[in-house]
Chain A
Amino acid sequence: MIHFDNVTKMYQNQSRPALENITLDVEKGEFVFLVGPSGSGKSTFLRLVLKEERPTEGRIHVAGRDLARLTNWKVPHLRRRIGCVFQDFRLLPTKNVYQNIAFALEVIGKPRRFIRKVVPEVIDLVGLEGKRDRMPDELSGGEQQRVAMARAFVNRPMILLADEPTGNIDPATSIGIMKVLDRINRTGTTVVMATHDAAIVDSMRKRVIELEYGKVVRDQSRGVYGQAY
């Protein structure tokens, strides 16, 4: 599903590459934790998958496409197959829960009838029944992140990228968030989650890829966060 072949990413004006000679595969339906300290290259990894950045060297394949050969105007089609969740939720403050989720479908031109059908389904999936008319500022952090996950998942992407989705949320609420991610994973969606949260990684017992200074230092199936932290 995601294939990195000897990928190096060097940002301008930086002496050290953000990622260095990364080679790894994420299979369809896998749940992968990306761990490592700040600046270890987790976000760069996610940005490369979305083609928000281009690798300095190496090849990247996502959902069977060679990103180097993907023309600019086809990038949106790649992104429709990838859902994204962030630490800061990124909801539109002027739209309610339903509208925030529907927005993701409206802007890719889905018919209204389809939107009316799938948005309530995905609201149920993330556990926000009865809150479809709330505005983001009327929701708790955990609930806002559920809206963000619903928006990321509503178009049934093949891959869900989560960049520290529990970073702004207390541990008890985080468990609920992880349950939703797990539920999404069980529908066959590949989930890649960058995180600092050791308790979550340890409790899930999923594949763990650890980055340090832009290099993979550990790739372990059913792994834990690691002793050093």
Chain B
Amino acid sequence: MRAQFVFQEVWIGLRRNLTMTIALVVVVAISLSLLGTGLLFVKQVNATRTFWQGRVQLSVYLCTKTSSSPQCTKNGPVTATELSSIHQTLAGLPQVASVTYVSQTAAYSQFKSEFPTMVNSVTPDEIPNSFEVKLKNTQADTTIVSESVDGQPGVDQIVDNAAILDKFYNLLQGARNAVVIIAIILVIAAVLLVANTIRLSAFNRRRETSIMRLVGASNFYVQLPFLVEGVIAGLIGWIVASGLLVAVKSLWLDTLQQYFPFNVQLTSTDLIQVVILTMILGVLLTGATSFLTLRRYLRV
């Protein structure tokens, strides 16, 4: 009886201001999906960062016969003595965690596996051998370590992988921040729309509510249909948002992966987490707003 009555009232309310309800659903859907996209971005950035942590942080490339830097054209390819001297310098630094030597053959086979289409244009002796250096503290020590070997005979160039990654992170973080800011603006719009819809709904049904109060319906009973109305609109918006989030993940983030030579795809678990989080947020948002609006407009 009670449930049937409440849902009947909710249905009447949603139908009576249909345009407001649609507007509400759309705004909730867009704000939740943008917020979810922001969260997916955060997860993507974290996944990428985890992937790179514990990997090479500094690559010291050595001179080959095709190297074009002035250092290399002057001295020619790196010699065995230079090689061991560079290795000793690097290994002797307190900031360095480990040094690995990558020979030209090893570098070539790695290149082959990562860029199979470009293999024909490169021969093994064109790919430089290198030292891959892991640092104890990426942020602070990069400069000290790179300066210690920079300019040593046989050293072609030093590539700070973290610096390359930082550009990538900045790109991702910029996109994430933009998405989150737009989402927050839309969330505010959604809150105002919920408040307005509930107010309209309360006004539309002022006869009913005045009679309800008169015959002694409890506040809970008077307010519940409006509350459920807001939450249902929020839930429909969330369902739409979930669809959009699945699309964002499979059509955009997964496609984005193809442009990078590493694979840190988000899992379905990540997506489900984000979708559940947006649901909780959507329900809390619409529920709390409806409740607070009702306290103002449906006093005893």
A residues apposed to B, CB below 8 Å:
50, 72-73, 75-84, 90, 92, 103-104, 106-112, 151-152, 155
Bound CA span A81–B216, Å: 8
Could you say which residues of chain A place their CB within 8 Å of the CB of B167?
none
B residues apposed to A, CB below 8 Å:
1-2, 5, 207-208, 210-219, 221-222, 300
B218 CB contact (under 8 Å) in A73, A82, A111, A112: A73
Bound CA span A78–B216, Å: 7
21 A–B contacts, CB within 8 A, in A order? A72-B300, A73-B218, A75-B300, A76-B217, A76-B218, A77-B216, A79-B215, A80-B215, A80-B216, A81-B216, A82-B216, A90-B207, A90-B211, A92-B207, A92-B211, A106-B5, A107-B5, A107-B222, A109-B2, A109-B221, A151-B215
Could you say which residues of chain A place their CB within 8 Å of the CB of B213?
76, 79
Are A107 and B1 neighbours in the complex by a CB distance under 8 Å? no
Are A108 and B207 neighbours in the complex by a CB distance under 8 Å? no
Bound CA span A35–B112, Å: 103
Could you say which residues of chain A place their CB within 8 Å of the CB of B210?
90
Could you say which residues of chain B place their CB within 8 Å of the CB of A107?
5, 211-212, 215, 217, 221-222
Could you say which residues of chain B place their CB within 8 Å of the CB of A151?
215
Smallest CB gap from A72: residue in B = B300
Could you say which residues of chain B place their CB within 8 Å of the CB of A104?
211, 215
Decide yes or no: A111 and B215 within 8 Å by CB, A76-B300, A90-B207, A92-B208 being known contacts: no
Decide yes or no: A111 and B1 within 8 Å by CB, A73-B219, A78-B216, A79-B215 being known contacts: yes
Q: How far is the CB of A181 from chain B (nearest CB, A)?
A: 18
Known A73-B218, A83-B215, A107-B222; 20 more pairs at CB < 8 Å: A50-B214, A72-B300, A76-B213, A76-B217, A76-B218, A76-B300, A79-B214, A79-B216, A80-B216, A84-B214, A90-B211, A92-B207, A104-B215, A106-B1, A106-B5, A107-B217, A108-B216, A108-B218, A109-B2, A112-B1
Bound CA span A106–B7, Å: 13
Q: How far is the CB of B51 from chain A (nearest CB, A)?
A: 56
Are A108 and B211 neighbours in the complex by a CB distance under 8 Å? no
Bound CA span A213–B64, Å: 110
Q: How far is the CB of A8 from chain B (nearest CB, A)?
A: 22
Could you say which residues of chain B place their CB within 8 Å of the CB of A76?
213, 216-219, 300
Bound CA span A33–B76, Å: 118
Could you say which residues of chain A place their CB within 8 Å of the CB of B217?
76, 107-108
Interface centre among B1, B213, B219, B221 (most CB of A within 10 A): B1
Ranked nearest first, the 3 interchain pairs of A and B with the lowest CB-CB distance are A80-B216, A79-B216, A107-B217
Smallest CB gap from A102: residue in B = B5
Bound CA span A90–B221, Å: 20
Smallest CB gap from B217: residue in A = A107
Bound CA span A106–B212, Å: 9
